[in-house]
Every structure is written in structure tokens, then in C-alpha cells.
Amino acid sequence: MTQIRLLVRLTWSKIMAFVILASAIFEDIYFDLDGKLLMFAIPFVATLIGVKQYFDRNKTENDGNTN
């Protein structure tokens, strides 16, 4: 039997992305904006998380190289 491990590390960028996404959803519902705010928030959140992952990957690759 195989076990699946899931590790989620909370960073400030992920917390901020969640706050932006949650506030966009709340404001869309509260002010009846029909998803207009969420339409701009989703690309921003995806970019925020993607760029953070890119920099973290480069940082861990460069930590082993001391040239």
C-alpha cells in the first residue's frame, strides 16, 4: 500500500494571495459586481504565487552552488 504525503508550507505570499482572493470574492458578492473584481484578482493571485515559486526554486538550486 502506498501512502501519499502532502506538505503545504504557508508563506506570506500564499497568505496574501488568499487574502486578495477572499476579499475579491466577498466584495463581488457584497456589492453585486457579477465577478468583475474577481476577474482581475485571479491573474494577480496566480502571478503572485507563480513568481514566488520561481524565485524559491532558483534559490534552492543556487544554494548548492558556491561558485
Give the lowest-confidence range in 18-32, 34-48, 52-66.
Answer: 52-66
Give the tens place of pLDDT for each residue, 44-67.
Answer: 999 998 998 888 888 877 776 655
Cell 477572499: give the residue: 22
Instruction: Establish how many alpha carbons lie within 13 A of residue 18's alpha carbon, considering only the half-sphere containing its beta carbon.
Output: 6
pLDDT of residue 26: 97
**C-alpha closest to that of 37 among 49, 20, 50:** 20
Q: The whole model's pTM is what?
A: 0.74
Domain boundaries, the chain: 32-58
